[in-house]
Amino acid sequence: MKSLLSASAVLALLAGTAQAEVKLGVLLGFTGPLESVAGPIASAAEMAIAEVSDSGKLLDGETVAPVRGDSTCIDASAATAAGERLVTSDGVAGIVGAMCSGATGAVLANVAIPNGVVMISPSATSPGLTTVEDNGLFFRTAPSDARQSVVMADILTERGLSEVAVTYTNNDYGKGLADSFGTAFEEAGGTVTISAPHDDGKGDYSAEVGALAAAGGEALVVAGYVDEGGSGIIQAALDTGAFDTFILPDGMVAPALTENFGDAIDGSFGQLPGSDSEGGGDFETLASAAGFDGAAVYAKEGYDAAALILLAMQAAGSADASDYKEKIIEVANEPGEKIYPGELAKALEILAEGGDIDYVGASDVELIGPGEASGRFREVEIEGGEITTVGYR
């Protein structure tokens, strides 16, 4: 009994010292199907945290430290456990994460809301997260796939395509994107001939492509992952001559695509989150100086997610989520002085003096609706076996 008491006293002491600095959770899928994507996002978030901490201007000289947690992407219970640890044992004041939509929903419902902790996801794009009951605690610097669907439907209409087949990877991301695309495209006057799922990690997709080809369509929308079944579907469709034009959402536009298919998919097109704002270029320079790839998918959003939490704290004058959650949209949007990557110290000063800022950041942040990025998209086309940028939307 005595030892138990002293142990809890030590714990209380430790907890007491831990509160001397602000901690921020970085909860991403460091293991699992998107493990290759997690690294740059984490580095970017930690770069923003270090920038704020080194400036010494946050809340009268508080330091900030990141604490990593593994949300695994597909294992909701592991993600919840990792989130729980961050909040209860590490005592984080906010969470950058989680990464995949399924894990994000689980951590939000089981950890963030019960404990009243703010979460900003840099990469969860499921439309379902827009309407989720979040007590004002959940934000994302990644745009919802509902927005991507509208952009994709616009691109198709402008290119004069009116009938497409859709195949999606059989998970939250794929189904969400396929459903919202179907709605958006039909509103724009198009027809979806078939919307069929495919499972990742299979070798043989002839049955799937057979069904897609029978349904017909001028092109095939592949809402999948380039490292997984998405490439298998394209391969089988090319081999059988079922389709030769593909529409490629964010999960498909990666260097692996042109490595696999070269110019066989010339004329295919797609879109992914991205902007041509000057903030993006600044960020990539900073990132390469810090030793990671700033052009990696969702790295910019990672930097912005961490920066927004810290700036909101400064605006509220408190690291308590219930105080600063109201301020996030305020610092992200107009009016105020525009803040680009590398200018966080300046932003902290303005806020300390009671001024207004409009955080633009690396990904051209503009939060809409219940706190998600309005989303700028980069339209790309495959030409001569290369991914080329057509424009921004």
Partner 1 sequence: MLLDLLNALVALTNFVIVPATAYGAQLALGALGVTLTVAVLRFTNVAHGDTMAFGTMVTILATWGLQALGITAGPLPTALLALPVGVAATAGLLLATDRLVYRFYRQQRASSAVLLIVSIGVMFVMNGLVRFIIGVDDQRFDDGTRFLVSARDFKAWSGLDEGLAIKTSQGITVLTAAVVMIALFWFLNRTRTGKSMRAFADNRDLALLSGIDPERVVAITWILVAALATIAGTLYGLDKSFKPFTYFQLLLPIFAAAIVGGLGSPVGAIAGGFIISFSEVALTYAWKKVLGYLLPLGLAPDGLAQLLGTEYKHAVSFIILVLVLLIKPTGLFKGTST
Residues that bind partner 1 (CB under 8 A): 170, 194, 196-199, 201-204, 206-211, 213-216, 227, 231-232, 235-236, 239-242, 260
CB 251 to partner 1: min, Å? 15
CA proximity to 393, closest of 68, 152, 76 = 152
CA proximity to 112, closest of 97, 122, 129 = 97
Of residues 34 and 87, the one with the C-beta less far from partner 1: 34
Of residues 260 and 318, the one with the C-beta less far from partner 1: 260
State how far the alpha carbon of 35 is from the alpha carbons of 28, 32, 224, 301, in Å. 9, 5, 16, 17
Would you tell me the crossing angle of helices 206-215 and 229-240 to the nearest 10 degrees?
A: 60
CB 313 to partner 1: min, Å? 40
119: Cβ–Cβ under 8 A, 6 or more apart, which residues? 94, 95, 97, 98, 104, 107, 108, 112, 137, 138, 139
Of residues 240 and 388, the one with the C-beta less far from partner 1: 240
CB 220 to partner 1: min, Å? 14
CB 239 to partner 1: min, Å? 6
Distance CA 42, CA 181 (A): 30
Of residues 188 and 264, the one with the C-beta less far from partner 1: 264
CB 223 to partner 1: min, Å? 14
CB 180 to partner 1: min, Å? 20
Of residues 171 and 275, the one with the C-beta less far from partner 1: 171
CB 164 within 8 A of CB 218: yes
Of residues 227 and 366, the one with the C-beta less far from partner 1: 227
Distance CA 128, CA 94 (A): 22
Which residue intervals of the chain are DSSP H helices? 2-18, 35-55, 76-84, 101-107, 113-115, 145-158, 172-187, 206-215, 229-240, 255-261, 278-290, 299-316, 321-324, 327-332, 344-352
Of residues 27 and 237, the one with the C-beta less far from partner 1: 237
CB 228 to partner 1: min, Å? 9
Distance CA 379, CA 381 (A): 7
CB 211 to partner 1: min, Å? 4
Residue 128 token pair:
């379902």
Phi-psi category of residue 354: left, alpha or beta, with phi > 0 → left and psi -120 to 50 → alpha: left
Of residues 240 and 285, the one with the C-beta less far from partner 1: 240
CB atoms within 10 A of CB 115: 15
CB 237 within 8 A of CB 209: yes
